[in-house]
Amino acid sequence: MATRRKKQATRRRDKTRRRQRGGQRGGQHRRQRKRQNGGVQDEEIRDLVQQYFPEFTKGIRVDKGHVFLTCPAANASANPDPNFIHFHIAPPHMMLHYLRRCPGISGTEILQRIITIGQALSLHTIELHDASLIRCDFPLYTLSILQHGETWYNRMGFLSPTHATDKEINDALRHMNWEDFVHEMFHKHDARIGRDPEKIEGRIKTYLKRWYRAFPDTRGQTVTEIVNRINWKGIPCDHPHTPLLRDFLDMADSVLEYNSNVTLDLRSQDA
């Protein structure tokens, strides 16, 4: 009888140990599955962000996957734009909500670091809606298309399903003669906002007079040649020519083909 009780006790201890070992292995497997499925906690995100953005240590906030980076040593009064970078990690995707350059750190470098974080977390994609502006509220996406045939984000690998077709169309447009492009631009823009088409030729004539008065050495050139000659980064925002340039970029947007919702496929970069 005593021997039987000892055997039963031994079996119970062995069974308990197996359950404990199984629970430990199960926890490890669950954590591995969570990592494989893209699960990630704010603490892990914060540690990774601090690793890749050491300059922002005092300006890092992570809340339910939302990451806010406040530019270090930035003078808010010098730039009215939001003084932070914002992206949201929701594995297996990331949404980039707001990007800006910071003192001493270019927008390109910041974006490359964010991409590296996405790769470190084994994310599939980074998505964004491109409404990018540069100083003086010049729309960067329009300016970049006129200069290069595609946007800054496109050149960083963020594409839409129509990117190849859009680039082909935009390349043809930006190599047009300046006055031909202005006529095309006005017709598309005025139709979009519902202006009287009977007065369009007068508006075009007035606009070209203003343009050549401001930029007399641009006659007979293509759109790209003219756009690349203008000092977009150096012209003061209160300069008399600045509203003319801003109006041009706003109207040119009516002609260009561009899908503002773009995606970077991190898996294709890892391949």
Beta-bridge mates of residue 261? 129
Domain boundaries, the chain: 38-129, 130-271
What pLDDT is recorded for position 74? 53
CA distance 69 to 107: 13
The pLDDT assigned to 66 comes to: 96
* Integer Rg of the chain from CA: 28
From first to last of the 271 residues of the chain, give the pLDDT tens digit.
Answer: 544 554 454 455 555 444 444 444 444 444 344 444 445 799 999 999 999 999 988 889 999 999 999 988 755 444 445 678 999 999 999 999 999 888 889 999 999 999 999 999 999 999 999 988 888 989 999 999 999 999 999 999 999 999 999 999 999 999 999 999 999 999 999 988 888 888 999 999 999 999 999 999 899 999 999 999 999 989 999 999 999 999 999 999 999 999 999 999 999 865 5
37, 43, 47, 53: CA torsion to nearest 10: 100
Token pair of 25 as six digits: 């292995």
3-state secondary structure (DSSP) of residue 260 = coil
pLDDT of residue 233: 87
97 near 87, Cβ under 8 Å?
yes
Strands 261-265 and 125-129, how do they pair?
antiparallel
The pLDDT value recorded for residue 24 is: 43
Vertex 96: Cα angle to 95 and 101 (nearest 5): 170
> Which pLDDT score, from 0 to 100, does residue 64 have?
94
Rounded CA-CA distance 255/46 in Å is 43
Q: What whole-number distance in Å separates Cα of residue 131 and Cα of residue 253?
A: 12
- Say what the pLDDT of residue 39 is: 53
Which pair of tokens denotes residue 104?
Answer: 């001493």
Distance CA 40, CA 244 (A): 48
* Angle at the Cα of 176 from the Cα atoms of 175 and 182, rounded to 5 degrees: 130
89: exposed, middle or buried (C-beta count within 10 Å: 0-12, 13-18, 19+)? buried
